[in-house]
Amino acid sequence: MNASTLHEHELNQEALIATITELAVPGKGILAADESLSTIGKRFATIGLENTEEHRRQYRSLLCTTPDLGDYVNGMILFEETLTQQDDHGKPLPKILAEQGIVPGIKVDKGLIRLANTLDEQVTQGLDGLAERLTHYKEQGARFAKWRNVYRISEVTPSLAAIKIGAENLARYAAICQELGIVPIVEPEVLMDGDHTIEHCAEVIEIVLMELFSALFLHQVHLELMVLKPSMVIAGADCSQQNTAQEVAEYTINVFRNNVPAAIPTINFLSGGQTPEQATTNLNAINSLDIQPWLLSFSYGRALQEPCLQAWQGKADNISAAQDTLYRRAQLNSLASVGEYTGETSSS
Ligand code: 13P
């Protein structure tokens, strides 16, 4: 390394440490607001709102300007377009977040494509040109990134091919991020779709995590400088036998203790289709077991946003009520992240 590259490397290391220090804080979690154009369209359809750029700007500006959201949220994952959007007064949304003490992050994967020679399994694309894109996002204020890989449970899936290629892609993405001073959120999402049991889910998440950490090791990813964003170990949405929060917590902790190195500073679960209340209750149960080596918090999309979106209904008059709803949901999840949620009327 010559002197200037060495200096750049040191600056990137400092940036990684500063960001992970802000993201791994007890009692705080991440708001995932990085829905792609088609996904946000589905969310808006639930309130009969047209999916236009202006509506997306209004909605995401409502999220970012929620008063004191930084009390419970320390990071927000944005979709590319949001990085360049502004609130009604012309202030860039990433700047508003930074002023709230919320670290702006960016979803960098380019969605899913079919994995050939499998039973319609999918793999995430977006590694080509990733370093260049990340450099650009960094200039726009992003300090961490997210890449989501999905695994579908059926009798014959996920295949070993899907598990290995998913792990490899996540690890290559994480290595690229760290080299550029961007903290990677590594998201292996095992979908809740289907009628599989919790035991089956545990087996799948176990092998997914095992292959993931093997790939992260191979690519020399610094575990201390990344965030893991996994699914909880939970029965499929159509499984006739649903489990208690205590059971979800026990299965989840058992699988994670056996497969996630203690060097990972914080595990921020996705909600994956759980109702807001279910996601909070399960997170609380997870944090009510023994002391664990990592923080166990949230990086919820739907479970934080659904009540807020419903309260908003696309109407300016409802902005304040919608923001109150988001703030309250974040507060309840903050309580759950330290095992102090006692139900929807919990107070801190
Ligand atoms: P959900 O919490 O709605 O699953 O969203 C989290 C996320 O970022 C999915 O990639």
Helix extents (H) in the chain: 3-23, 37-45, 53-64, 93-99, 130-139, 160-179, 198-218, 245-259, 276-286, 302-312, 319-336
Q: Tell me how far the alpha carbon of residue 14 lies from the centroid of ligand 1, in angstroms.
A: 29
Omega before 307 cis (within 30°)? no
Res 292 pLDDT > 90: yes
Best mutation site among 149, 227, 270 for ligand 1 pocket (most ligand atoms within 8 Å of CB): 270
Could you count the other beta carbons within 10 Å of the beta carbon of residue 41? 16
- Taking only the tens place, the pLDDT of each residue in 225-235 is 999 999 999 99
Is the pLDDT at 348 greater than 80, yes or no?
A: no
Residue type, 54: E
Catalytic residue among 121, 187, 189, 211: 187
At residue 9, what are phi and psi to the nearest 5 degrees? -60, -45
The answer to whether residues 103 and 146 touch, using CB atoms and an 8 Å cutoff, is no
Ligand 1 pocket, mutate which of 79, 282, 297, 300 (most atoms under 8 A from CB) = 300
pLDDT, one tens digit per residue, over 150-193 is: 999 999 999 999 999 999 999 999 999 999 999 999 999 999 99
Catalytic residue among 107, 138, 146, 229: 229
Reply yes or no on whether 138 is catalytic: no
Interval 308-323: pLDDT, tens: 999 999 999 999 999 9
**29 in contact with ligand 1, CB cutoff 6 A:** no
Residue nearest to atom 8 of ligand 1 (CA): 32
Contact call for residues 238 and 195 (beta carbons, < 8 A): yes
pLDDT computed for residue 2 by the predictor: 83
What spacing in Å lies between the alpha carbon of 273 and ligand 1's midpoint?
A: 8
- Residue 247 to residue 307: CA distance in whole angstroms: 26
Are the C-beta atoms of 271 and 298 separated by less than 8 Å? yes
Residue 1 has pLDDT above 80, yes or no: no
Query: Which backbone phi and psi does 45 adopt, to 5 degrees?
Result: -60, -30
Residue 4 — pLDDT band, cuts 50, 70, 90?
A: confident
pLDDT value for 220:
98
Q: Is 187 a catalytic residue?
A: yes
Q: Report the SS3 class of residue 123.
A: strand
Torsion (CA) 300, 304, 306, 307 in degrees, nearest 10: 170
What is the CA 345 to chain-centroid distance, rounded? 26
CA of 221 to the centre of ligand 1 (A): 23
CA diameter of the chain: 62
Distance set, CA 101 to CA 63, 95, 129, 140, 218 (Å): 14, 10, 30, 17, 34
Atom number of ligand 1 nearest to Cα 300: 2
Burial class (CB in 10 A: 0-12, 13-18, 19+), 280: buried
Q: How confident is the model at residue 219 (pLDDT cuts 50, 70, 90)?
A: very high
How does pLDDT run across 142-155, given as a tens digit for each residue?
999 999 999 999 99
Report the pLDDT averaged over residues 256-269.
98
For 189-209, the pLDDT digits (tens) are 999 999 999 999 999 999 999
Closest residue CA from atom 1 of ligand 1: 301
Whether the per-residue pLDDT at 263 is higher than 90: the answer is yes
Q: Is the pTM of this model over 0.95?
A: yes
Q: How far is the CA of 254 from the centre of ligand 1 (A)?
A: 23
